[in-house]
Every structure is written in structure tokens, then in C-alpha cells.
A and B are shown apart, each in its own frame.
Chain A
Amino acid sequence: MNAPPPNDSAEPVRTEGVKYVAKNMRLDLRLIAEMIAPGSRVLDIGSGDGSLIGYLYRTRGCDARGIEIDMAEVTRSVAHGLPVMHGDADSDLAQYPDGAFDYVVLSRTLQAVERPREVLRQMLRIGTSAIVSFPNFGHWQVRWQLLRSGRMPMTSVWNRPWHETPNIHPCTIRDFFHLCADEGYVVEKWLAVDDAGQRSPWRRFSGLANLFGEQALFQLRRA
């Protein structure tokens, strides 16, 4: 929390000479990419179409690899020359040796894994840093909808009915700070962003971020 905030100016991402950066790479992935030192070893859990690892390899010279549960995405990624393996956060992280990576990334997936606490432990076992993004269940719209209608909230972020959502472990930014404290993780950086991944101005105040941030992005390390 005391770490200096990342670069404030929203720098345009350099794409010249880049062969494979998905044109619409999500902004939160760009924010994650900014946190990662060039030349480092990165594991992206839930790598999707591979745009983050492709970007990290081709613009930052990272040894970036992915794990993805959707086979069609895996096939597409490998067919683009990206090292991705079919697997999932809950069962495959345990296979990697300690300290195999400098960064382990889990973006927008923590709320959907079976054992989020164990997944975080594994991330910080196999990696020096964990970068985690998740949708914030503490956002004011979520709170307001539940209070007003008495029904499970439906927002642009939480947009599936309760019986169909894969998000089985939603949490708030405050919850996540508590979990990190319980587990003894050091929060090196954190920020709240809106759904498009734009940084919000409340990031210095966790209470405000918890109310107004739609997504949270954390960088953790072991104490």
C-alpha cells in the first residue's frame, strides 16, 4: 500500500513492430503489463486468447506462458505460437516448482476458482509476485441494488443471474485486503479501476475504492 503508485499518465501502449497484440487488448491487461518488468518469467492463469502473454513476449522480451481452461482458446493461442497449456488454476498450479516464475497473473478469475485462498498460496509459492485482478462486489451499485430490490445484483460487471454465474467466490476490495493480512501477504501495489480498466481517482483511499471501483488490481508478494 505504501508503494508508489504506478505511472499516472495513461501512456499509449507501444505497438510499432509488434506482430501480435490483440487490437482490443483489455485495458486491465495493459495495466497488468505495466507492472511486469521486461525479461521476466510470467505465468498467466486464464490466459484467454493469449493477448497478454503475446504482448509480454513481443514487447517486453518476457518468457510468458499461459494456462487456459477453454480448449478453443488454447488451440488458438498455440496456433499463434504462444506457449499455453490446457489446465485450470485449481488443479494445475500445484504441479509447478517453487519460484518458477517472477510474476504469476490471475486476471478476473479469482472469484471463479474453487479455492481462491489455495490458488493465491500456490501463486505465491511458484512466483515471486502475484498480480490479481477481480471484480469488486463492494461497488455502490451492487450494494444499492441488493438493498433496494432485495435480489442478487445485476450490473455491467456482475451480469449473470445468480444461478448461472461462474463467480462462486465474489469478494470486495476490503475483503481482499483482509485476506492478504490474514495470509501475511505484502500488498506492493493496488489500484481500483472502472470496468473498462481505466484507473479511478480513489485509489489512495481503500474505502472509496471499495465503493466506487468496479475492478481491483493487486500486486502481492510473500512477507
Chain B
Amino acid sequence: MDQPDLAAVTHQHVAFDDGMALDCGMALGRLVVAYRTYGTLNASRSNAVLVCHALTGDQYVAETHPVTGKGGWWDMVVGPGLPVDTDRYFVICANVLGGCMGSTGPRSPRDGAAPGVLWGTDFPPVTIRDMVRAQKRLIDHLGIARLFAVIGGSMGGMQVLEWAASYPESVFAAVPVATAAYHSAQNIAFNEVGRQSLFADPDWRGGRYWESGSVPARGLAVARMVAHITYLSEQALTRKFGRRVRGGAAAGDLALFGDMFEVESYLRHQGSTFVRRFDANSYLTITRATDYFDLAAEHDGNLSAAFAGTRTRFCIISFSSDWLYPTAESRAVARALNRAAANVSFVEIASDKGHDAFLLDEPDFHRTLAGFLAGCAEHAGLPE
């Protein structure tokens, strides 16, 4: 465990001392948005691409992560000569509101409290729309009137949809990937299992674990393990692990406990590494935000009304083996956009890698994304 403590790392950020009003009716007295940029903003400020990260992602899209020391979570997609080409586009990614990589969240100093007192579980419930509002503040701060594109997968895709619905004039092209316009009962159910496992960890201490410096590691790890299963597919698990047992275990050993199957140790590893880079209360806050998400409900139950009159060009991408945000949900978004006569491309990429496919090496996906952006750049008159 020779990586820096989560709290010890500082992140590039901008602070808005006038705060921000939230959907819940409360207001944050101070808003900090941590972000990273790649590439160069052109003179006309027309080549900015906002990448929105997923639930447990962060702003370190395409560089070594300061906490984990690992490569960027989308370094196959964002970079020089890659689909989101940083030689051509100015790429921005912000840590979401409620996150734990420098943006205002449960780990931030509480408004009006004594030094050292954090928000913790008293952090106001935030929505995807609140996250997007915070990003809009950043984009305004950077002097960008219109984003060339907003791109994101999973929860990042929800933010893309929210951007297109809330600020249509500021989004030339939108690419929601492996996402949905609302959280289904199944999505909420899995999130709830994760939250309950946190609550059940004695180290969670009613959400005040930060006071004693403890971490509800077991609860957070179990939450991650459950979630991780939903990111994969049965085929992917079978292909990677099958029923293989660990090297030390003999096939005849019928042990009740311990690492027996390879898939078990894989999940345990996923759980334990996650704990070191994520805050439990952030996990609660952000999973709740995804559960609240229902874009149609923000428009009297009519999803196409969210996009009425839009001139944004959309590219909806789903993956065939994604059962967390299945293709049917993407198709529903595409059809709602059709009802609004929007310019929409819709592709389902054949993959057996489940929801995680959007983070993995999927050449068809990357070709589609690159081609869509290039086509949009032509329409936007972006210099090559």
C-alpha cells in the first residue's frame, strides 16, 4: 500500500466562492470543480470536448493517476491520434460534484463549520443535473461558449444527455455511450445492495468514519464487488475465469472459506484496490444521484420534450452484452430523439464484454466514435 493517501493529493481545480444552488433546494456556499485538460484550445474556442466520467471514474482520463499510479481510464480513447484526438480537440474532464478527487463532495470542508469538519453524510443529495451545472460553471470559467462535443459512458452518458437537454446551444455534438435516460429498478436494486453493505460495515460509523480516520473498507469493497459483476457479462466471466481454481488449491479440497476460484480472488482484488482510491460517502452520494436520474420525469414524462428543437448531433452507442444499460434503453433514447426530429446516429457494438466494454479495447466502438467526431467536425467547420 505504497500509494499516497486519498486526502493527501491535491488536484488542479477552480473554486467558485458564490457557491451553487442544488436541485434538492439547498445551496453549496462554495463550489470547487477539479479538472484536467488535454490538448490546446484553438483561437476561436471551438474545439473543446468535455468528457464525463462514470460512477467511479475521475478527471484523470489520459494520464497517470496521482493516487493509484495507473494509466488514465480512457487512455485508449483520448490522446494524440486517438478517437478523441488531443492533437485536434481540447479535452476537458472534471471530477463530478459529490466525487472524491478534488471536486466538492462529502470529503470537502463543510460550509460554515469549524476547520477540519467535513460534509460527510450531511453533504446534500445531488443529482446528475447538479453535476452538469457544476461542469457548466467550469466551461464558462474557461471561456467556452459552445462545446464541440460532450462524451461519456454509463453515468457519464447520463451527464451527456443532461447536457444536451439543459444546454442545447452549448453542445454541438453529444455521444452518450452505454447509458440510459433513467435508472431502472434493477439498476437501483444493485446500487442499494452496495449501499447496504457499506451501512453494515461497523467501520462506517454512521458515515462519520472520517472523524476517526477509519475506512469502511469491507463494506466499500463488497459494494465494488457487486457492482463489478454488473459491469461484466456471463460470457466475459466464463472466458476470463471459467471454473478455474487458484494454483494452491487442489481440486479435491472442499474448503468453505478462502480463495478458491479465480473469479473470487479477482473480485476481492477489485474490491480492495477500489477502497484505496474512493471515499465511501462519495460512493453513497453518487450512486444516489444515478438512482434519481430520470430525464423524462424532468419533462413531464416525455423524453422527447427534453430534446425539443435541439440542433445537437447525437451518436448513441450501446454494447450488445451490456445488461446493466441494455441496448433497448439506448434505442428508447434514439427514438425519443427521432420524435424531436434530432440528428441522431445509433449503433449497437457487438461485444461480449458487458457494460465495461466502453472502457476496453473495442475497435468498432473506437472507429465509430472517431468517425462520428470527424463528421461533426466537418459540419462544425472545425479546421483539420
Mark A residues whose CB is within 8 Å of B: 63, 65, 71, 74-75, 77-87, 92, 95-97, 100
* Min distance, Cβ B176 to any Cβ of chain A, angstroms: 14
B371 touches A81 (CB 8 A): yes
CA distance A86 to B316 in the complex (A): 10
* Min distance, Cβ A104 to any Cβ of chain B, angstroms: 13
Is residue B344 contacting chain A, with contact meaning CB distance below 8 A? yes
Is residue B328 contacting chain A, with contact meaning CB distance below 8 A? no
Question: A79 touches which one: B334, B344, B368 (CB < 8 A)?
Answer: B368
Q: Which residues of B contact A63 (CB under 8 A)?
A: 343
Which candidate, B48-56, B224-232, B372-380, is the interface stretch facing chain A? B372-380
CA distance A60 to B124 in the complex (A): 53
A95 touches B345 (CB 8 A): no
Q: Which residues of B contact A100 (CB under 8 A)?
A: 341
19 contacts between A and B (CB under 8 A): A65-B343, A71-B350, A74-B345, A74-B347, A78-B315, A78-B345, A79-B368, A79-B370, A80-B371, A81-B371, A81-B374, A81-B375, A82-B375, A83-B375, A85-B334, A85-B345, A87-B346, A92-B338, A95-B338
Query: Assuming A78-B368, A79-B370, is B341 touching A86 (CB within 8 A)?
Result: no
* Min distance, Cβ A39 to any Cβ of chain B, angstroms: 14
CA distance A95 to B332 in the complex (A): 10
Q: Which residues of B contact A65 (CB under 8 A)?
A: 343-344
Query: Assuming A78-B371, A96-B339, A97-B339, is B348 touching A86 (CB within 8 A)?
Result: yes
A83 touches B313 (CB 8 A): yes
A71 touches B347 (CB 8 A): yes
* Min distance, Cβ B368 to any Cβ of chain A, angstroms: 5
B371 touches A85 (CB 8 A): no
A85 touches B346 (CB 8 A): yes
Is residue B246 contacting chain A, with contact meaning CB distance below 8 A? no
CA distance A80 to B374 in the complex (A): 8
Is residue B364 contacting chain A, with contact meaning CB distance below 8 A? yes
A85 touches B341 (CB 8 A): no
Q: Which residues of B contact A84 (CB under 8 A)?
A: 345
CA distance A123 to B339 in the complex (A): 14
Is residue B335 contacting chain A, with contact meaning CB distance below 8 A? yes
CA distance A146 to B370 in the complex (A): 51
Within 8 A of A (CB), among B319-373: 331, 334-335, 338-341, 343-350, 364, 367-368, 370-372
* Chain A minimum-CB-distance residue to B318: A86
* Min distance, Cβ B81 to any Cβ of chain A, angstroms: 16
CA distance A82 to B375 in the complex (A): 7
Question: B371 touches which one: A71, A79, A86 (CB < 8 A)?
Answer: A79
* Min distance, Cβ B37 to any Cβ of chain A, angstroms: 25
A75 touches B349 (CB 8 A): yes
Q: Which residues of A contact B345 (CB under 8 A)?
A: 74, 77-78, 82-85
Q: Which residues of A contact B371 (CB under 8 A)?
A: 78-81
* Min distance, Cβ A101 to any Cβ of chain B, angstroms: 8
A81 touches B372 (CB 8 A): yes
Q: Which residues of A contact B340 (CB under 8 A)?
A: 97
B347 touches A75 (CB 8 A): yes
B338 touches A96 (CB 8 A): yes
CA distance A100 to B304 in the complex (A): 14
* Chain B minimum-CB-distance residue to A81: B375
* Min distance, Cβ A203 to any Cβ of chain B, angstroms: 34
Question: B347 touches which one: A78, A81, A96 (CB < 8 A)?
Answer: A78
CA distance A71 to B343 in the complex (A): 18
* Chain B minimum-CB-distance residue to A41: B341
B341 touches A81 (CB 8 A): no
Nearest 5 interchain pairs by C-beta: A81-B375, A79-B371, A85-B346, A95-B338, A100-B341
Question: B346 touches which one: A79, A82, A86, A96 (CB < 8 A)?
Answer: A86
* Min distance, Cβ A67 to any Cβ of chain B, angstroms: 9
Q: Which residues of B contact A83 (CB under 8 A)?
A: 313, 343-345, 375
